[in-house]
Amino acid sequence: MITRMRLKARGKINLGLDVIRKREDGYHEVKMVMQTVGLYDSIDLRTSDREGIRVETNLYYLPNDQNNLVWKAAEMLRQEFDLPGGLDIRLKKMIPVAAGMAGGSSDAAAVLFGVNRMYGLGLSLDQLKERGVKIGADVPYCLMRGTALSEGIGEILTPLPPVPQCWVLLAKPGISVSTKWVYANLHANELRPEDHPDIDGLVEAIRRGDLKAMAGKFGNVLELVTEKRYPVIGEIKSVMKRYGALNAMMSGSGPTVFGLFEDVRAAKKAYWALKNGRLSGRIKQVYLTNFFNNREVSNGL
């Protein structure tokens, strides 16, 4: 048995996000393209002779009990396989919280992967994904990572070719957005045809490896709700485009905005414009990173 392990839980962005309809059971049927980025949380796992799971984080406002997804992930496997002793989890958050980047889901995915490896449980990736979806709809994708088409309620995943590498600028304004609130205010069954982004066109551009065409097909139907409520999202997008972004869009239900840049100098200028410009007082976090696409590495977290 491995007694210690350090893992990287990487964030994601949505290159495209459409909500097809709200189903009779209350769930929303989606069609979206997910992409892993280089920004990550660090997770240290260590077995303990003491029973139970202990979670420590670098953010005082995060729960350290069963309300944290890393705790739920560890406890799920601990109960199912009657694992001996306990587990200490140290979580260092870098991915913005409640920001449309699946940080919590990625943390849970990393813990599932880590516990499986540490205790030699022998679960395949598909078996981990079957368990992960019980924790959250994004967890199976966060186990797989890379570029993928996500359908159904997010559980039907189709791997796509890696997107062309570029610079990804991320900016989260100093607000937090409830995903539940966004979907409740979308009124999915009342959307007009022109409200829906061209996800099929986006996928085709990705298959061709055409970065500019891909950026031209960006679309996130949830911006209709979140950006309307928080205009700063649109202002951040405008700054990124003004400094040379191929395109800029909100990720997930927001409020994080990302922009894609081919030129690192333009990306750095946009970074500093957001850090020190007129919006700086309204932006909480800014990061410059890349896509994360190595499937062999990503499957090993």
250's tokens: 């909100």
Q: Pick the catalytic residue: 12, 31, 129, 237?
A: 12
Give the CA distances from residue 142 to residues 23, 51, 273, in Å, rounded to whole numbers and listed in that order: 24, 28, 31
Q: Which residue, among 148, 115, 137, has the nearest Cα to 45 in the 3D structure?
A: 115
241 catalytic? Reply is no
Q: Locate tokens 């993928």: which residue?
A: 148
Q: Locate tokens 């995915």: which residue?
A: 109
Helix, strand, coil % over all residues of the chain, rounded to 5: 35, 30, 35
Q: Pick the catalytic residue: 18, 138, 172, 237?
A: 138
CA distance 183 to 284: 24
CA distance 96 to 155: 23
Cα end-to-end span (Å), the chain:
19
Residues 6+ apart with CB under 8 A from 180: none
Q: Is the dihedral of CA 224, 230, 236, 242 positive or negative?
A: positive
66's tokens: 């069963």
138 catalytic? Reply is yes
Q: Which residues are catalytic?
A: 12, 138
